[in-house]
Amino acid sequence: MTDQLTTSGLPSDPLFIAYMTVFQTAAEHLLACEECQAARPCPVGDPLHADFLAKQAAWENQQYRKARNERRRAQRKAEARSRMARHAAGLLVTFGPWKDGRPAATPADVARQANAMYGGYLKGEPITTTEGAAALEAVLNH
C-alpha cells in the first residue's frame, strides 16, 4: 500500500482517494442512519453503498492489473537477463579454453563476460554469479 502514498504521506492515487472518500461518507451515513443499520438501505444510503462497492471494485481491479503488469515486467526482465547470460556463456563455452573435457569458464566468468557485453543494458543491476551458473548449465545441457 505504500505506493498509494506520496512523499508527503498523502494518498496520490485518484481511484484510492475516491474509494476512501466514499468509504468515509458511507460509514458516516451508516453511523447516523437507523434504516441502513437495520439493513434497510434508505434513499440516501442506498446509492452511497452502491457507490462504495463500485469504487472499491475499481480500486481493487486497478491493484490487480498493477500487480499483473508488475509480474509480467519482472518476467520479461528475467528472460532478457537470461538471454544475455546465455549468450555470454555460449561464447565462453564455444571459444574459451577447455579443461578435462569441460569448459574452463566458471559462473563468475560468465557473469563478468555478460556484464562486459551488456553492461549498458543492465541498468546498474549486473548479471550475478547465480545467473551465470544457470546460463552455463543451460548452454551445456541444451
Q: Which residues bind Zn ion (CB under 5 A)?
A: 33, 35-36, 42, 45
Beta carbon of residue 23, minimum distance to Zn ion (angstroms, whole number): 15
Residue bearing cell 549486473: 126
| CB nearer to Zn ion: pick between 18 and 42 | 42
Beta carbon of residue 17, minimum distance to Zn ion (angstroms, whole number): 23
Beta carbon of residue 38, minimum distance to Zn ion (angstroms, whole number): 9
| CB nearer to Zn ion: pick between 21 and 129 | 21
For Zn ion, the nearest residue by Cβ is: 45
| CB nearer to Zn ion: pick between 45 and 107 | 45
